[in-house]
Amino acid sequence: MTAMRVVSLVPSLTELVWELAPETLAGRTKFCTEPPEMASAVPAFGGTKDPDVAAIAALQPDLVIANREENRREDVAALEDAGLRVLVTVIDSVGEALAAIRAIGAEVGNTAGADALAAEVEAALEEARPGEGPRVFVPIWRRPLLGLGGGTYGSSLLEACGAVNVQRERERYPEVTLEEVRELRPELVLLPDEPYHFREEHCVEFAGVAPARLVDGKLLWWYGPRMPRSIRALRELLAEAAAWR
């Protein structure tokens, strides 16, 4: 029996498909680079915001996986107009990430693997204590300064790991000033390397706000097989910050 063919337009979900059913993955975007052995084996069809719709349609996959935030509505519509079935995921919380893991596991024929991964995530979450960690500000862009707000996967994950997102009352990724951030009284600033690549020299810009620390952006933004280790790594980082109080 021929395996189904899946094209994923979401880097973290591409990693998930490769984890659950690598034989089904027939296409990815140029930003789907993890794990490296997948990237060397699976062809890329454009980017997350500009996929090569014609090439994907010519491949005639059984399923295209997209995400409401990562991908453009017009590209999804073009793929559907080409007769392709598109699964558009909505992942604005840890709970929705778990639901997506199970849904994709069912699609690729590995519900057992998906359930096992979801159980591992849930076990890691049970070890966390929400609300006991430091108050955190996470910028996602530098100029203009955009911060991580509520209604997002990143905020949900941080709070599940014990942090208090100081911008949780503002939706999505609001523009802020350093003075506004200072008034929110964060105890820690986390500087991720994606989508904006914050570096060591940027830490000084937040010197008057709170101690700043560089962090792997994949810990905050990538849902899927790396979630258990992301949760544990974030908990360790937050515990260290709490000790500074």
Q: What is the pLDDT of residues 195-216, one digit of tens each?
A: 999 999 999 999 889 999 999 9
What pLDDT was estimated at residue 133?
76
- List pLDDT tens digits, range 144-190: 999 999 999 999 999 999 999 999 989 899 999 999 999 999 999 99
* Angstrom distance (rounded) from CA 240 to CA 29: 36
What pLDDT was estimated at residue 131?
60
- List pLDDT tens digits, range 227-242: 999 999 999 989 887 6
Torsion of CA 183, 244, 232, 221, to 10 degrees: 30
Q: Quote the radius of gyration of the chain (alpha carbons, Å).
A: 19
Superfamily of domain 6-125: Nitrogenase molybdenum iron protein domain (3.40.50.1980)
| The CATH number fitting domain 135-243, selected from 3.40.50.1980, 1.10.10.10, 3.40.30.10, 3.30.70.270 | 3.40.50.1980
pLDDT value at 130 more than 70: no
What pLDDT was estimated at residue 240?
81
Give the residue among 10, 31, 8, 9 at the shortest CA–CA distance from 22: 8
pLDDT value at 39 more than 60: yes
* Beta strands at 63-67 and 6-8: parallel, antiparallel or unpaired: parallel
Query: Which tokens hold the place of 108?
Result: 């690729």
- List pLDDT tens digits, range 14-38: 999 999 999 999 999 999 999 999 9
* Angstrom distance (rounded) from CA 131 to CA 83: 46
What pLDDT was estimated at residue 127?
81
- What is the residue extent of each domain of the chain? 6-125, 135-243
Q: What percent of the chain has pLDDT over 90?
A: 89
Would you say the CATH fold of 135-243 matches that of 6-125? Answer: yes
Confidence class for position 104, pLDDT limits 50, 70, 90: very high
Would you call 83 exposed, middle or buried from its count of C-beta atoms within 10 A (0-12, 13-18, 19+)? exposed
